[in-house]
Amino acid sequence: MRIRPRSLLALATAAVVATTLAAPAQAAPAPAPAPPAKATWWHEVDPRPSNEEVGRRLDQLADRSRGRVDVRTIGETNEGRPVWAARVGNGPLRIQYVSQQHGNEPLGAPAALEFLRTVGVGNTGWHRWLRSQLTVDVIVRANPDGHARDWRYNYDPDADPEYGERGKGYDINRYHNPDLAPEDNPATEAGHIQRAWLEFRPDIVVDYHMQGRYVDDDGREITASVYWPSADGVAPEAVDAAKQVSVVAQKSIDHLAGGYVSQYPGGTYEGIARNAYGLRGSASVLLELSAMGQEFEQKQIRSAYVAMLAIAQTAADGSVDRIDPARADDIPLRGDPIRN
């Protein structure tokens, strides 16, 4: 299946620029290279590859990219599964994508594999330019034990957690508190992610999750939701930078993936990755794909992929920095859940 074999990134950039840039042109920057149309084809992908399959796919990407996709693990789970990660590019601007902290929210991981393939394997002028501007670090599946069980938590039968479920495991996305040292982190995989952040110090972090189905106040279905840090103490510049990235995610999904993005009504707890890495100074964004059912899974994976590419493109060409952060406040609010 191919959806819209068009120049996705050129459109992404055009859409973002046309609809979000408030400032009039000053000194015109050198135009960024246009991505090849080939980069935009979509083909059906496995929405739930096993962790072994993720490892095989990453090995293939390392080969096919001639090492430009640099594969590693950031540690093991409590059951000894590798937590796979990969890095592409060698530019100064650093982006970190994290997928599937919650094991039963799978669709960010296949999008991350497609992102690595697109950016790492191709070698046109655009690819070389993008990789020269950015280094993108991708934690492909943060919670392989939870994936294996199709549940939210990690696997820790001894857990009696404040966040999580006794006898099952920890909610990884409540254990990123900046004052919690990785070596003291009771949620194993959260400690791995903390170390990966500390080693990489990304400018931008986007954490991919999934939510239920919702409508806006007019009854229109929301396909994804985004949010920026809301904890007390996040520097205003970090909030503004996260709002700029949120606008890119919204515009790219709305205009290029046929979606409809709302704000996510997230809480202020500092252990949530969105807040924790905002407190540490990153432009930290949460992206929640709605679980719309099997028939929409390819579209939802593609939505996450489109956002990954558009965030990378607009960071590389500098256009994300020219977005008015206040545009994020205009993103519609999430309304009521859809009762099936």
Positions annotated as catalytic residues are: 288
Residue nearest to Zn ion (CB): 209
Report the residue number, 178 or 266, with the smaller CB distance to Zn ion: 266
Cα-Cα-Cα-Cα dihedral sign, residues 256, 286, 61, 1: negative
Nearer to Zn ion (CB atom), residue 287 or residue 315:
287
Residues 105-124: x where in contact with Zn ion by CB under 5 A, - otherwise, as a string: x-------------------
At 312 the three-state DSSP class reads helix
**Encoded tokens for 13:** 């950039």
Q: Indicate which single residue of 57, 102, 141, 251 sits in contact with Zn ion (rule: CB under 5 A).
A: 102
Asked if residue 127 binds Zn ion (CB under 5 A), the reply is no
Q: Is the dihedral of CA 135, 12, 288, 239 positive or negative?
A: positive
Taking CB under 5 A as the binding criterion, the range among 85-93, 99-107, 265-273, 320-328 that sits at the site for Zn ion is 99-107
Taking the complex as a whole, how short is the minimal distance between the CB of residue 241 and Zn ion, in angstroms? 22
174 is an interface residue for Zn ion by CB under 5 A: no
Nearer to Zn ion, 210 or 279 (CB): 210
Distance between CA atoms of 224 and 209, rounded to whole angstroms? 10
Which one of the spans 57-65, 96-104, 176-184, 322-330 is the region binding Zn ion (CB under 5 A)?
A: 96-104
Opening angle at CA 85, ends 84 and 90, nearest 5: 160
Could you tell me if 76 and 82 are in contact, meaning their C-beta atoms sit under 8 angstroms apart?
yes
Binder among 57, 127, 209, 274 for Zn ion (CB under 5 A): 209
Return the amino acid letter for 185: N
Q: Kindly indicate which of the ranges 121-129, 208-216, 262-270, 323-331 contains the residues binding Zn ion, using the contact rule CB under 5 A.
A: 208-216
Distance CA 320, CA 188 (A): 34
Closer residue to Zn ion in complex, CB, 17/148: 148
**Does 87 help bind Zn ion (rule: CB under 5 A)?**
no
Q: Which is nearer to Zn ion, 13 or 284 (CB)?
A: 284
Nearer to Zn ion (CB atom), residue 94 or residue 102: 102
DSSP reduced 3-state for 270: coil
Name which of 332, 204, 206, 310 is nearest 257 in CA terms.
310
Considering only the stretches 51-59, 103-111, 221-229, 248-256, report the one whose residues sit in contact with Zn ion under the rule CB under 5 A.
103-111
For Zn ion, which stretch binds (CB under 5 A), given 22-30, 133-141, 183-191, 205-213?
205-213
What three-state secondary structure class fits 293?
Answer: coil
CA dist 137 and 133 (Å) reads 13
- With a CB cutoff of 8 Å and minimum separation 6, the contacts of 275 are 176, 229, 230, 231, 234, 268, 269, 284
The least distance separating Zn ion from the CB of residue 264, rounded to whole angstroms, comes to 10
How far, in Å, CA of 203 to CA of 91, rounded? 12
Total residues contacting Zn ion by CB under 5 A comes to 3
> Least CB distance from residue 101 to Zn ion, whole Å?
6
**Which amino acid makes up residue 314?**
T
SS3 annotation, 72-106: EEEEECCCCCEEEEEEECCCCEEEEEEECCCCCCC
- Based on CB atoms, which residue is closest to Zn ion, 102 or 192? 102
Residue 274 binds Zn ion (CB under 5 A): no
Closest distance of CB 238 from Zn ion, Å = 22
Site residues (vs Zn ion, CB under 5 A): 102, 105, 209
